[in-house]
Structure 1
Amino acid sequence: MIHKLVTTPMNLVIKVGEKVKEEADKELYDLPTIQQKLIQLQMMYELGEISEDAFKEKEEELLIRYEVAKKKEFEQWEELTKKKD
């Protein structure tokens, strides 16, 4: 009984932490979100709202995130197809 009283709050904290990480990963590696941010970035650059250096820096960051997201998507697809076989 005492064991449950001690471990239950810890388990809850772990579950909340896992959910926060999951949501953060979704935001960071959501392909449509990244694509939209790339479009917005391009528009800001073309309108002169940001410098070329700032544009290149942010574009590189977004392209890396896009690449990681595509890799994750491919890995998930492979995992799903393996389960069906």
Structure 2
Amino acid sequence: MNNFKNTDEYKQYMDTLTDKIKLYRKDKKISQLALSNILDQNSTSFIARIELRKDGHNYSFAHLLMIAKALNIDIKDLIPSSL
């Protein structure tokens, strides 16, 4: 069975998700540090690794919930429309 996490389709989906969050973050003028703090972290490198797509770092579902709440948007707005 093919491991979905190792497919180009998965990578593209996660890239799109990450890009959407980054655009919302910048539009709301939220720094990487501020977003990191929202996610109960204390380092810009936490967000930078995700935004740079380094070493397979991704946002978790819990992160998406916290981000949506902080940005005052529906979580559906963060999710890419298709795989």
Task: Provide TM-score, normalisation by structure 1.
Answer: 0.31
Greater relative contact order (Cα < 8 A, sep 6+): 2
Larger radius of gyration: 1
Q: Larger helix proportion, structure 1 or 2?
A: 1
Task: Provide TM-score, normalisation by structure 2.
Answer: 0.32
